[in-house]
Amino acid sequence: MGPRGPIEHKTVPTRAAVYVPVFKQYPVQDDVAGTAEAPRRSHDARLAEAMGLAAAIGLDIVASGVVSGQRPRPATLIGTGKVEEMKGVIAGEEIGLVVFDHPLTPVQQRNLERELNVKVLDRTGLILEIFGERARTKEGRLQVELAHLNYQRGRLVRSWTHLERQRGGAGFLGGPGETQIESDRRQLQEKIKRLEKDLEQVRRTRQLHRAQRKKAPHPVVALVGYTNAGKSTLFNRLTGAEVMAKDLLFATLDPTLRRTTLPHGTEILFSDTVGFVSDLPTHLVAAFRATLEEVIEADIVLHVRDVADPDTLAQAEDVRKILRDLDIDVDDSDHVVEIWNKVDLLDEAGLQHLATMRESLPDTDAVHVVSAVTGFGVDTLLVDIERRIGGGTVTLTVDVAPDAMGFVPWIYENATVTARDDREDGAVSLTMDITKQARTELRRMSEHASGVSFQR
């Protein structure tokens, strides 16, 4: 199969090269390393992440590096000298795929494939390959296919070597004089419309599920974060679930919901979502908007950060950018809480630096320092979540008559009993810390039964 065929994930992994092109002069809109407002990524950090992306689909990375240039070349992105160097590496290492951690125009991708005689992927194409492997649900697969078709539609210029060939006459789609590329573009558009219709049905179904949950009413707490920040591990720690938590980029793609009872009895839903990544194309974010609607409608958003990663500041800004694209106010500390994860990987100096950073914040309650692996800080986080969703505790004393003892087990299950007085007449007086939500439920139940009285 030629260089423009699909990647085949065989038992023997494809030998690949990963390159990060960097230029001294960037057009403003193409500055993939950062902006004046956001932290700039180091070249080494970009290369490490690109290699992680490639490893996520099992590629055998046999060559990698940073490729420097004065400015991007319209025809091949990099200079002819660099292209010739790559040819030598490709021949020597028997490489079948080259990944560029940089956007490629359709013309650049086509020209590079012709020059190098191997398949070439840019960052978006690689992420789509990963998404394609990770999708498990019908919705996830539809999202991936839609994103891939939108990506492919803009790259038809490279998809055919016979673009100028005419086809027409009786029995041919499109009628007389329709070019191959026009026909392909039309067929892609028809597929896209069908997928969008299917996805609209998925969205309606998801909205119905959310409406049913709101009747329940269980608050939703969504975990978001840069890919591989430890979201799924923290999700497992918070819920006791067993979501796939691997050291892989985009290990989670389809959203996962789990119900959990907080320390003082409040029931909530935790939602684990797809990891974000820098330079995620707009059409990819749009395609996964249905998945991300769990984030949009969440009562609380936990922004999980890997503070042991040297690139943590740039990663955090990338996540904030996508949250802003979803119309979420990242500066609302009552709604968005940062979780500084993986502190178990920091040495003493790193922990001290982290503590200093946290103390310098205007609102230290907007940040929790945790380790999803060891459980450090998780109990405090759960208590704070309960406080934030209106489940803050109040102290309450109730008297339970002998004929209403059925209430006592419920109270022990849904509150923290701090004092108990068993009286001679068989009644029990219980003093407890209880959430406002649970107190309301207890009052509602007592209205339909005698034998429970609330002390003032």
Q: Which residues are part of a known binding site for Mg(2+)?
A: 232, 252
CA triple 129-9-88, angle to 5 deg: 90
How many CA atoms lie within 13 Å of 47's alpha carbon, on the beta-carbon side? 16
Alpha-carbon span 290 to 130, nearest angstrom: 19
The CA distance from 188 to 446, in Å, is 62
* Helix (H), strand (E) at residue 185: helix 180-215
Comparing CA positions, the residue from 364, 89, 362, 322 lying closest to residue 226 is: 322
Q: Name every residue whose Cβ is closer than 8 Å to that of residue 377 and which is 6 or more positions away in sequence.
A: 343, 368, 369, 370, 371
Q: What are phi and psi of 325, to 5 degrees?
A: -60, -25
In the structure encoding, which two tokens stand for residue 397, read together? 């004393």
CA-wise closest residue to 227 among 137, 134, 139, 152 = 134
> Are 264 and 433 in contact, with CB atoms under 8 Å apart?
yes
Whether 248 contacts 56, CB under 8 Å: yes
In this structure, the chain runs to a length of 456
Instruction: DSSP for 370-409, please give it.
Output: --TTT-TTHHHHHHHHHIIIII-EEEEEEEE-GGGTTHHH
Burial class (CB in 10 A: 0-12, 13-18, 19+), 335: middle
Distance CA 416, CA 267 (A): 15
Task: Pull the structure tokens for residue 126.
Answer: 């690689």
Q: Name the β-bridge partners of 230.
A: none
Q: What secondary structure does DSSP assign to 63-77, as a single string? A: EEEEEEESS-BTTTB
Residues 6+ apart with CB under 8 A from 104: 77, 112, 120, 122
367: three-class secondary structure by DSSP: strand
Helix, strand or coil for residue 305? Answer: strand
The binding site consists of 225-232, 250-254, 272-275, 341-344
Q: For residue 17, what is the enclosing H or E element? A: strand 15-23
- Torsions phi, psi for 15 (to 5 deg): -80, 130
Q: Which residues are annotated as a binding site for GTP?
A: 225-232, 250-254, 272-275, 341-344
